[in-house]
Structure 1
Amino acid sequence: MRYALYFSPAEHHPLTKAATHWLARNAFGGETFPTPEADGLAGDTIRELTADPRRYGFHATLKAPFELHPDRSEAELIAAFERFASETPAFDISNAIIGQIGRFFALVPDTVYPELQDFAARVVEEFEPFRAPLSEADIARRKPEALSEAHRANLHRWGYPYVMEEFRFHMTLTGQVPPEHAPAMRGELDRRFSAFANAPLAIDGIALFVEQERGAPFIVHRWLPLAPASENRKIAS
């Protein structure tokens, strides 16, 4: 089994509902849906281009999937997860947009937000004691020879290349979209997610996802809200 710490809106949040119908699977419980329709894109094409984010569930990666350290238990991980959520301030990203990372489409911040970077770094660092060391096969799958020096250093130190200064928040909506399908995909995502793009995004919860076995769909094991602002002021005082 592997675990992951992800940002996700709550199960019944309108963004979660929009994303799960687009990806045709709800990570909260695993319910599946028919492949959505889109102008200019065949159903088989949509299903193929959303296969990867459908398996992982709608989320933004904070602590990438990891096997549990042999000296730690799931009960200890959940206790740390609950403590982190209760002690961590909720906050907003001022503006989220539909953007592209290479050929992937995702909901992303319009700029780098230091508070978001700090939040993600805290998750990586605080849950590091629960991560089992990567196997040689895990390292090889990341093709370290093709990574930058900073990404390679992160892979060996934290088990994932895209953390700390290299972290870029993104809630993935597609796999790699070929250039010939990109305009239609852009139009469809702009339409479907118009209520959430060019608008604030509340970072007000955190999710513990699990993968029962390698290659299985990820599901939400626990979701917890972050502490309200009033409670965070008490914590800080």
Structure 2
Amino acid sequence: MSYSRFAIYYVPPKGALAAFGANWLGWDVEEGTPGCQPDVPGLRDITMTPRKYGFHGTLKPPFRLKDSMTELDLRGAIETLAGSLKPALCEGLELKALGHFLALTPYGETDGLQRVAAACVADLDALRAAPNAAELARRRATGLSPRQEALLMEWGYPYVMEEFRFHLTLSGRLTEPQLRAWTQVLSTRIPALPTPFVVDQIALCGERLDGHFELIQRYTLAG
């Protein structure tokens, strides 16, 4: 399989939460196949934007490899990184509105998640190609703070390091009435959420030629 971009995600292990996310969004990132989306009016429309990424928490945002780097180079670097990282733990996950979209977000102490994400961004950066003009323009279109602009230029993405907030996306952009309505719908469908919430592995995912992401390999955090 040929991939145009790669990303480092947290992909929930097989179980009730992973199955829910795959079906809710309509794409199973682990299997690389469509999910069995529930027959809920409007669901396909509100999940159109996040669908191609699958149910995941971003650790290192999608990036292109430098011309001098290969997927094997990337796999080796991730294996080394995972071997040095300790798992991250927080109290649990909860459904929240993040701006104009809905997501599962961690609560309690999140320093461990910040640590894992920062390492994924920094330690793998030597393999990342610099963003092109179109990519930079797309990131700047929503308006960036001076710090976010600096992060974009340093790491290729504006919402990393101290601007990072771990989340598992469940919708695209919603209006205030939609946020309230879909929160009610989700609250009746989300399975029991993990307490504590543990990130003890990271996942290399690739963007296929059809634009959808799929899991390539999981790596256990063994530091």
Structure 1: 5+ residue runs without aligned partners? 233-237
Instruction: Confirm or deny: 8 A CA contact 1:96 1:109 kept in the other structure.
Output: yes
Instruction: Confirm or deny: 8 A CA contact 2:16 2:191 kept in the other structure.
Output: no
Summarize the alignment of residues 31-110 of structure 1 with structure 2, pairs less than 5 Å apart. 31-38=33-40, 42=41, 45-110=42-107
Task: Give the residue type in structure 2 aligned to 1:220.
Answer: L
What is the alpha-carbon distance in structure 2 between the residues aligned to residue 126 and residue 144 of structure 1? 28
1:212 equivalent in alignment to 2:214: no
Secondary structure of the corresponding residue to residue 202 of structure 2: strand
Query: What does the per-residue CA deviation read over 1:37-87, in whole Å, with 9 as the maximum and x for residues that have no partner?
Result: 34xxx1xx1101011221111111111111101221211110111222223
What is the alpha-carbon distance in structure 2 between the residues aligned to residue 88 and residue 3 of structure 1? 20
Give the count of matched residue pairs.
Answer: 220
Secondary structure of the corresponding residue to residue 82 of structure 2: helix
Summarize the alignment of residues 1-237 of structure 1 with structure 2, pairs less than 5 Å apart. 1-10=4-13, 12-38=14-40, 42=41, 45-111=42-108, 113-143=110-140, 146-196=143-193, 199-213=195-209, 216-227=211-222, 232=223
What is the alpha-carbon distance in structure 2 between the residues aligned to residue 92 and residue 72 of structure 1? 32
Structure 2: 5+ residue runs without aligned partners? none
Change (3 A) 1:103 1:144: closer
Task: Give the residue type in structure 2 aligned to 1:60.
Answer: G
Give the deviation of 1:145 after TM superposition: 7.8
Q: Percent identity?
A: 35
TM-score normalised by structure 1 residue count: 0.87
Instruction: Confirm or deny: 8 A CA contact 1:96 1:201 kept in the other structure.
Output: yes
Give the deviation of 1:194 after TM superposition: 4.4
Instruction: Confirm or deny: 8 A CA contact 2:27 2:34 kept in the other structure.
Output: yes
Secondary structure of the corresponding residue to residue 28 of structure 2: coil
Change (3 A) 1:144 1:152: farther
Instruction: Confirm or deny: 8 A CA contact 2:86 2:221 kept in the other structure.
Output: yes
What is the alpha-carbon distance in structure 1 between the residues aligned to residue 112 and residue 82 of structure 2? 16
Secondary structure of the corresponding residue to residue 56 of structure 1: coil
Instruction: Confirm or deny: 8 A CA contact 1:5 1:65 kept in the other structure.
Output: yes
What is the alpha-carbon distance in structure 1 between the residues aligned to residue 7 and residue 35 of structure 2? 24
What is the alpha-carbon distance in structure 1 between the residues aligned to residue 193 and residue 184 of structure 2? 15
Give the deviation of 1:141 after TM superposition: 1.0
Give the deviation of 1:144 after TM superposition: 5.9
Larger helix fraction of residues: 1
Task: Give the residue type in structure 2 aligned to 1:120.
Answer: A
Runs ≥4 in structure 1, deviation > 6 angstroms? none
Query: What does the per-residue CA deviation read over 1:186-220, in whole Å, with 9 as the maximum and x for residues that have no partner?
Result: 012222224017x321111101111134x611111
Task: Give the residue type in structure 1 aligned to 2:7.
Answer: A
